[in-house]
Amino acid sequence: MADHLTEEEQIEALKNWWKEYWMSIVLPILLAAVGYFAWNTYQTNQETKAKQGSLLYQEMVSLAGEPNAELTEEKRNEAEVSAQELIEQFSGTLYADRAKLLLARFAAEQKDYDKAAKYLGDVVSAGANEAVQNLARARLARVSFAQGNYDKAISLVATPKDESFKSLFAEVRGDALAAKGDTAAATTAYQEALDHLGDDYSRRGLLDLKMKGVAIIADAAKQAPVQAEPAAEAEVEASPEAAANDESVNSNDAAPAEQLADEGNS
């Protein structure tokens, strides 16, 4: 009888213990299970969203074509719609930044520089990473150059921390300095661009042409008389050599504006 009572007492004690401590045992298990399923759901949603963003981005790129490519109005409009969807649905991501860069490119191609500057400014101030911010900064400097605001263009492309952008920034500075007539500083900037160019041989020829262009301007400034006689002025105007020099200078000045639409496919 004593043994039987002991078992009952033990069962009663176990019941009392369970009433007191069941929450501390069951709740962590429930929380762990809920957390596991919630995390899996979150991961699945993120993967689905990433796939959707990738597809939408690829669609936008396919519609937009290469920089300076001739687009029908229908394709341009479709690309702009895709870009706006990326901006709205994927705010704060690289997809949204790339969409803004594309819309800025379209605006620059249409010479709507204020609109281009707005999109680029958004990326500069709140881009997803430093690389895309630097790229947007270089393009914003191009836009400022096209607007005739050379000092702002120069300030935008101060030497970046990222080594890979030093050449591009130096080139844009050189363009703005050349436009201001500071040929010595422009030459220094172009040389810096060449020094940090790396394996990007496609830009080497253009930089060499720009160097030659500012050299022609500098030589012309040194050789120009303080006050030319009327006959001498007429001779200069009629000189084929002078006309050739003018064409070289104009060609060099036009180069930066042609690059406003895009700094390549990067």
3-44 pLDDT per residue, tens = 555 777 777 777 777 777 777 777 777 777 777 766 666 566
116-175 pLDDT per residue, tens = 999 999 999 999 999 999 999 999 999 999 999 999 999 999 878 788 999 999 999 999
70-106 pLDDT per residue, tens = 788 898 999 999 999 999 999 999 999 999 999 999 9
Pair 87, 99: CB distance under 8 Å: yes
Q: Which helix (H) or strand (E) holds 3?
A: helix 2-64
**Residues making up the chain, counted from first to last:** 266
Taking the CA atoms of 41, 47, 53 and 55 in sequence, report the sign of the dihedral they define.
negative
Nearest CA among 53, 118, 60 for reference residue 91: 53
Q: Any idea where the domains of the chain sit in the sequence?
A: 160-266
Alpha-carbon distance of 81 to 63, in angstroms, equals 10
Predicted TM-score (pTM) of the model is 0.68
pLDDT, residue 241, reads: 34
